[in-house]
Every structure is written in structure tokens, then in C-alpha cells.
Amino acid sequence: MVWLVEEAGLHPRTGEATLRIARDLAGRMDYTAGTVLYDLDGTATRCRLSRATVKRHVGYLRELGALVWVRHGSRRNLRLPGRPYAGTATIYAATIPYAYDRAHGNRVEGQGFGARVVAVPVPPMRTPAADGPGGQVGEPQSLAARPRKPVAEADERFKDTPRRRARPRPTSRPGESTPRSPLRVAADMRVAAQVRPHVPWTQSEGLRRLAYALRPLIDQGLDAHDITAELTSWWISWRPARPAAYIAAQLRDRTAVEPPEDESAEAAHPHTAEPTGNPAWQAWLRQRATATEFHEPQRTDDDRRHARLYGWDRWAEIADHYATDPDDALDLYGTRLCGYAVKRAAGGGARR
């Protein structure tokens, strides 16, 4: 307190009265807990100061960071035996400001009332080589507020290592060769967030658990739409208590009983094949590709620009084209012209 009030001069209104009150508090302090009762009337009597002066200088101590409130007092009567009135006492805790530790080179750990000094600087040894011009001592120690981490010795790095090492936690699922990266986990959760609103019996499950259960389907390359179709095809009319566990069990059982893939099995059960593996579907795709390649010329941007510029007077033709092949009509004429043609064909009052 002498350093804070007289040497550092951190508060312009502190003085001898502040030190008298600080000595009175220090004489009554419990140094085990670092706390002291306020005792306004007793402090004013012992220090021979008025109550207002004591209140004012105790406020200065709080502003300096030397006192903090532990409990605010009140006028509520505690009804102690033998006393007609006894209010709740105010309790202060003594603290050391960071400015003091920084100025004296103390290294502290922690914050606030729980901070503790972990290292006190040792004065540098005075040697002729260390003395500068005029006999001044060389550079002082660093005044860093936080302690440095100890550096392990090369020949003693196994000194404090326990004999039995803890079993490492698994970082990947069974069957995965490498752990899942945080970016991939976030992508799985985005897929689960798109699937969950469309599958009612999964809506009670958390996103992280649901994404974990859907990993086998995601690893197969299925997107949110495909996974939704897969879960919907299970035709579940009840709500599992643990949807993620149910999905994991179903996928695990399906993997366990899934027969080896061969052409004969796929031919014997055509309905179990993937949609893209259906022979009729593949034949239609080849036919369409052949027709597009040999019978229909490639459409260019100039064709689209010309059709959209001069097609407003041929709205009946555009409406028929849209009714026959909407995707091709939208690609050629655009959404605005197709909408106009459909409205005119339906008798609407569309305007250009």
C-alpha cells in the first residue's frame, strides 16, 4: 500500500488517511482467506476519522484494485441473541493490483482474486562485465506477466512419463481407414439437415447423430434427395425412439446379408438393381443420345437468342412445344417467353 499510495501515485486523492485505513484493515484481516469485515463505525473510531472519510477512502482502495467486494452488507436484522439489532456485515477481500506485479517483475498465473504469484525475479548478480558505463547494472529480467512453459530436457524427456500408457481413443468408425476431417463432418451434417425435414420419423434426432448414422449412404455418393428417397422407401409407419440407431442397425444388417454382386443375380432380380442400371433405361438413354447426335443439330447460344427475340408472335407454337417437351422449350425460349405463351394459350391476358 505504501508503494501504491506514495511511490506509484496511481490515485490522485489517496494519502495518509488511506494508509491509516489500510493498516486498520490489515490488522483485522483473516490472512488464510484474505478477507476482512468492513466495520465502518469501528474503523472510523480507531482511525479517528469521520464515517464519510472512511467511506470515501475505502472507495479509493477499491479503485486502486487493493480491495474487492465479497459480500455487500444490508440493513436486514439478523436477530442475533443478546443484540436488539445486527445488520448484515460487508466483507472485503484484499487483492494486489496487476500494476504492482508488473512493476516488480512478479510472474502471476490466473485472473482476478484467484491470481497467484508463480515466480519472483532474482536480482541480477553485480559483475564488472555486467556493469555499464558509470557502474550501472545490466539489463533486468523480463517483466512478462505470464510464466513461460518449461522446456523438457533432451535426456530427461521420459522422466515423468507413466509406465502404462492410456489406450488411445478411436478416431474413426470401424471399417474406415482414416479419420473423418472436420470439413467432411460439417458436410455430413448439412446433408442430414436437408434430409431430416422430409423424413418425419427422423425429426426427433439430433443432426450430429443423424449425420453419423447416414455416413454409409453419404460415402456411396448419394445426395440429400437420394438419401431421402432411400429412407422413405423403408415405409416406416411408426416413430423409432432412437432414429439414428435404427438407421445404423438397418444399414449394418443390410450390409451383412447383402449377396456378392454378379450379373446372374442382377438378371434374376431386375427390380433390385439401381435405377441407372435398368436395361430399358440404358437403352432409352442410348437411343436419345444417338438421335441427338445424328438427327438433331447442336443448339447454340445464337439459336436461343434468335428464338427468344422473334418468338413472341409465335406463342401458339411455343405453347405446343412446352406441352410436348417442357425442358427443351425452357432451354430454347426461356422461362419468360414460355410463361407468356402458356398464358396466351390458356386465354390469359398476358402482356409483353
CB neighbour list of residue 144: distance below 8 Å, 6 or more residues apart:
107
- 246 and 292 in a single domain? The answer is no
- 7 and 107 in a single domain? The answer is yes
Q: Residue 131: which region, alpha, beta or left (left: phi > 0; alpha: psi -120 to 50)?
A: beta
Residue 114: half-sphere exposure toward Cβ, Cα within 13 Å? 2
Structural domain boundaries enclosing 20: 2-111
Report the alpha-carbon distance of residue 153 to residue 127 in Å, rounded.
Answer: 29
- 100 and 8 in a single domain? The answer is yes
Q: CA dihedral defined by 260, 263, 265, 271, rounded to 10 degrees?
A: 110
- 303 and 221 in a single domain? The answer is no
CB neighbour list of residue 295: distance below 8 Å, 6 or more residues apart:
none
Which pTM was predicted? 0.34
- 43 and 101 in a single domain? The answer is yes
Q: What is the DSSP letter of 35?
A: E
Report the alpha-carbon distance of residue 243 to residue 192 in Å, rounded.
Answer: 12
pLDDT reported for residue 290: 62
The reply to whether 84 falls in a domain is yes
Domains contained in the chain, number: 3
> Quick check: 211 and 191 in contact, CB under 8 A?
yes
- 46 and 101 in a single domain? The answer is yes
Q: Which of 257, 292, 319 corresponds to the end of one domain?
A: 257
Q: Report helix, strand or coil for 295.
A: coil
Q: What is the DSSP letter of 97?
A: -
Q: Report helix, strand or coil for 274.
A: coil
The reply to whether 216 falls in a domain is yes
Q: Report helix, strand or coil for 164.
A: coil
pLDDT tens, position by position, for the chain (352 residues)?
Answer: 888 888 877 888 888 999 999 999 999 988 887 888 888 889 999 999 999 999 999 999 988 888 888 877 777 776 667 777 767 778 888 888 878 878 888 777 766 666 676 666 655 555 544 454 554 444 444 444 444 544 444 444 444 445 555 555 554 454 454 678 888 898 999 999 999 998 989 989 999 999 999 999 999 888 888 898 888 888 888 888 999 999 999 888 877 655 555 544 444 444 444 555 567 667 766 766 665 555 556 778 888 888 887 777 788 888 888 888 888 888 888 888 888 888 888 875 544 4
Q: Report helix, strand or coil for 242.
A: coil
Q: Report helix, strand or coil for 91.
A: strand
- 12 and 105 in a single domain? The answer is yes
- 19 and 73 in a single domain? The answer is yes
Q: Which of 60, 91, 111 corresponds to the end of one domain?
A: 111
Work out the burial of residue 344: count CB atoms within 10 Å of its CB; fewer than 13 is exposed, 13-18 middle, 19 or more buried: middle
Integer Rg of the chain from CA: 41
CB neighbour list of residue 146: distance below 8 Å, 6 or more residues apart:
107, 108, 109
The reply to whether 172 falls in a domain is no
